[in-house]
Amino acid sequence: MKTKIDLPAAARTKLVELLNARLADAIDLQTQCKQAHWNVKGPSFIALHKLFDEINEDVEEYVDDLAERAVALGGIAEGTARAAVKRSTLEEYSVKITGEEDHLDALSTALAHFGKQARAGIEASNDLKDADTADLFTEISRGVDKWLWMVEAHLQNGR
């Protein structure tokens, strides 16, 4: 699509592809947060139930920001569930787990991977000379690292 954004068309095409790849991961991460939120069981249920929902709320913002940036650059946001399934690079989240530690481990793995992909997005955006998209990925990376820290804190019991 046409836009007056002053980035070369070839760079915008690559950026839209990158944004859609991370959009798929973000949609997948959002569903994983809700899976954990709905199914966690154990003595820390209420704390984890709330934590997982708070993470989901931030990830929902990442989904929206990634999609809107792709469209702003003249692309199409590929945000359907089927597109996310085809493109996501996150590990499959087990629908059979219920225990606190299992959910914490699975969600921390997903957050760590998503954070790594966001940091790769910073580099790729900088290489394509798009400071705004790099800034978006920086914001996402910072937020994901904060949530990863909070999830991992539940797994650190002084061992």
**CATH number for the domain including 124?**
1.20.1260.10
Q: Is 29 helix (H, G, I), strand (E, B) or coil?
A: helix
Please tell me the pTM assigned to this model. 0.96
The mean of the pLDDT values for the chain is: 96
Q: Kindly indicate the confidence band of residue 116, based on its pLDDT and cuts at 50, 70 and 90.
A: very high
Residue 159 has pLDDT above 60, yes or no: no
Residue 6 has pLDDT above 60, yes or no: yes
Domain assignment of residue 93, yes or no? yes
Q: What is the pLDDT of residue 158?
A: 55
Residue 157 has pLDDT above 80, yes or no: no
Domain assignment of residue 4, yes or no? no
Percent of the chain with pLDDT over 90: 95
Domain assignment of residue 131, yes or no? yes
Residue 21 has pLDDT above 80, yes or no: yes
For residue 156, give Cα distances in angstroms to 11, 72, 75, 101, 145: 43, 42, 43, 11, 16
Q: Is 6 helix (H, G, I), strand (E, B) or coil?
A: coil
Other Cβ atoms less than 10 A from the Cβ of 37: the count is 19
Domain assignment of residue 24, yes or no? yes
Cβ contact 145:137 at 8 Å: no
Q: Is 98 helix (H, G, I), strand (E, B) or coil?
A: coil
Give me the number of domains the chain comprises: 1
Domain assignment of residue 2, yes or no? no
Domain containing 83 equals 9-152
